[in-house]
């Protein structure tokens, strides 16, 4: 596969996202005023409660089986490592750039959570269809590749709404309460600080820290709609009876799966429109330092890919990962994608940092075509 062909292939999903972002930007302009602040909040709630859970449920139920879990058991660990390493590198960016407190959660979130959905979903079929691909015939490559990507996307969504969501909220709002949706009800994101008497001994200090961390975790936020949808999809995928009833072209109740899948298809376009609308405010003056944007770009497109090569090759060396080229390629690809679009949803739910997040996402995606050309070229050489 020639370098120019790979560049064009990797640029297609980036161009699509930037184009839809531009439409959202236009709709949010004062003279058009279709995608105003209230409209973006309402769309965001629909994504949070309807579209995103549908996307997770449809992709996970269609791909998860006992056989796939045995074969791809390392993938959840690999995705988790991308989040943990990204979080640590995001913390390093915070220490170096010293941003305002309300941007800390956004920086860590953008470094930790990658777009494991629509970017690989477009890149993998395009690479499979190219002559000279190292992944065998086109039909088998697409079949297994899209299955790997669907599982990766579902796992990533679970981590975003459990790990990243709570991490961003604790970093951005170290105290107090914040509205989680546009209704009048509020949810305490962090419990008020409890005065604790002087403790003696190492065990007492450890116990105090564990209790303090537990107080900061709100179970209601951990079990977000997307997490609940993932649990339901796991139950359906792993239960042969439910799977035969709901999943597949011959399933008696396949209309349910088709409807959920249809709703899930609306997730990425609506998310991208909202990001474009928030970008208008960001470009007017978000106060975003260039050093923050550079830091996020360096983490996502330089440091994380290097970490990914070391981890995946090390796992293969110790027999934790099979030698199948396509599977290894997708594990490596999870380290080079731009930040997840769901981060825009999270900041919108918090009601803080929407414009700054949109600016980071805009520049990250504008530079993504370079990363998604150079690194996949190296990865294909590495796994071939």
Indicate if the pLDDT at residue 246 is higher than 90: no
Residue 211 has pLDDT above 70, yes or no: no
- pLDDT tops 50 at residue 254: yes
Predicted confidence band of residue 195 (pLDDT cuts 50, 70, 90): very low
134 vs 114 pLDDT, higher one: 114
Query: Whole-angstrom Cα distance, residue 222 to residue 162?
Result: 5
Q: What is the pLDDT of residue 297?
A: 93
Per-residue pLDDT at 269: 84
Class of domain 3-174+217-383: mainly alpha
At 275-307, the pLDDT tens digits run 788 777 666 655 677 889 999 999 999 999 999
Question: Per-residue pLDDT averaged across 308-325, rounded?
Answer: 90
Q: Return the domain boundaries, the chain.
A: 3-174+217-383
pLDDT(359) > 50: yes
pLDDT at 173 over 50: yes
Give residue-wise pLDDT tens across range 30-51. 888 888 888 888 887 888 888 8
pLDDT in tens, 6-37: 666 666 766 777 788 889 889 988 888 888 88
Worst-scoring range by mean pLDDT, 135-149, 213-227, 327-341, 350-364? 213-227
Residue predicted with more confidence, 41 or 108 = 108
Mean pLDDT, the chain, integer: 78
Above pLDDT 70, what percent of the chain? 79
Per-residue three-class SS string for the chain: CCHHHHHHHHHHHHHHHHHHHHHHHHHCCCCCCCCCHHHHHHHHHHHHHHHHHHHHHHHHHHHCCHHHHHHCCHHHHHHHHHHHHHHHHHHHHHHHHCCCHHHHHHHHHHHHCECCCHHHHHHHHHHHCCCCCCCCCHHHHHHHHHHHHHHHHHHHHHHHHHHHHHHHHHHHCCCCCECCCCCCCCECCCCCCCCCCCCCCHHHHHHHHHHHHHHHCCHHHHCCHHHHHHHHHHHHHHCHHHHHHHCCCCCCCHHHHHHHHHHHCCHHHHHHHHHHHHHHHHHHHCCCCHHHHHHHHHHHHHHHHHHHHHHHHHHHHCCCCCCCHHHHHHHHHCCCCCECCHHHHHHHHHCCCHHHHHHHHHHHHHCHHHHHHHHHHHHHHHHC
Has residue 145 got a pLDDT over 90?
Answer: no
Q: Is 91's pLDDT higher than 80?
A: yes
For residues 195-218, average pLDDT: 54
Mean per-residue pLDDT, 267-282: 78
pTM: 0.73
| For residue 372, pLDDT beyond 70 | yes
pLDDT for residue 176 is more than 60: no
Q: Which of 185-189, 190-194, 283-287 has the highest mean pLDDT?
A: 283-287
């Amino acid at each position: 596969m020639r370098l120019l062909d790979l560049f064009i292939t990797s640029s297609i999903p980036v161009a699509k996202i930037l184009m839809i972002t531009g439409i959202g930007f236009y709709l949010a302009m004062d003279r058009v005023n279709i995608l105003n602040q209230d409209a973006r909040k309402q769309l965001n709630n629909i994504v949070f409660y309807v579209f995103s859970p549908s996307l997770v449920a449809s992709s996970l139920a269609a791909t998860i089986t006992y056989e796939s879990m045995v074969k791809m058991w390392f993938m959840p660990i690999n995705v988790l490592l991308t989040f943990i390493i990204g979080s640590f590198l995001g913390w390093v960016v915070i220490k170096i750039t010293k941003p305002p407190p309300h941007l800390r959660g956004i920086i860590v979130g953008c470094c930790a959570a990658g777009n494991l959905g629509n970017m690989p979903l477009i890149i993998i079929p395009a690479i499979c269809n190219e002559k000279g691909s190292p992944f065998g015939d086109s039909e088998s490559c697409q079949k297994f590749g899209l299955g790997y990507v669907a599982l990766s996307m579902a796992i990533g969504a679970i981590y975003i709404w459990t790990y990243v969501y709570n991490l961003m909220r604790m970093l951005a709002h170290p105290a107090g309460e914040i509205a989680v949706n546009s209704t009048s009800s509020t949810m305490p994101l962090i419990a008020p600080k409890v005065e604790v008497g002087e403790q003696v001994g190492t065990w007492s200090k450890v116990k105090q820290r564990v209790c303090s961390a537990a107080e900061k975790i709100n179970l209601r936020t951990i079990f977000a709609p997307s997490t609940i949808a993932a649990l339901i999809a796991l139950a359906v995928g792993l239960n042969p009876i439910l799977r035969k009833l709901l999943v597949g072209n011959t399933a008696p109740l396949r209309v349910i799966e088709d409807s959920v899948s249809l709703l899930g298809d609306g997730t990425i376009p609506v998310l991208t429109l909202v990001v474009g609308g928030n970008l208008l405010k960001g470009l007017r003056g978000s106060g975003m330092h260039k050093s923050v944007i550079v830091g996020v770009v360096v983490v996502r497109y330089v440091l994380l890919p290097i970490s990914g090569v070391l981890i995946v090759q090390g796992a293969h060396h110790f027999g934790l990962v099979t030698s199948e080229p396509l599977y290894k390629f997708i594990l490596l690809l999870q380290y080079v994608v731009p930040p997840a679009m769901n981060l825009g949803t999270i900041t919108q739910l918090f009601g803080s940092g929407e414009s700054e997040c949109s600016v980071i996402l805009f520049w990250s995606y504008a530079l993504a075509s370079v990363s998604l050309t150079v690194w996949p070229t190296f990865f294909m050489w590495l796994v071939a």
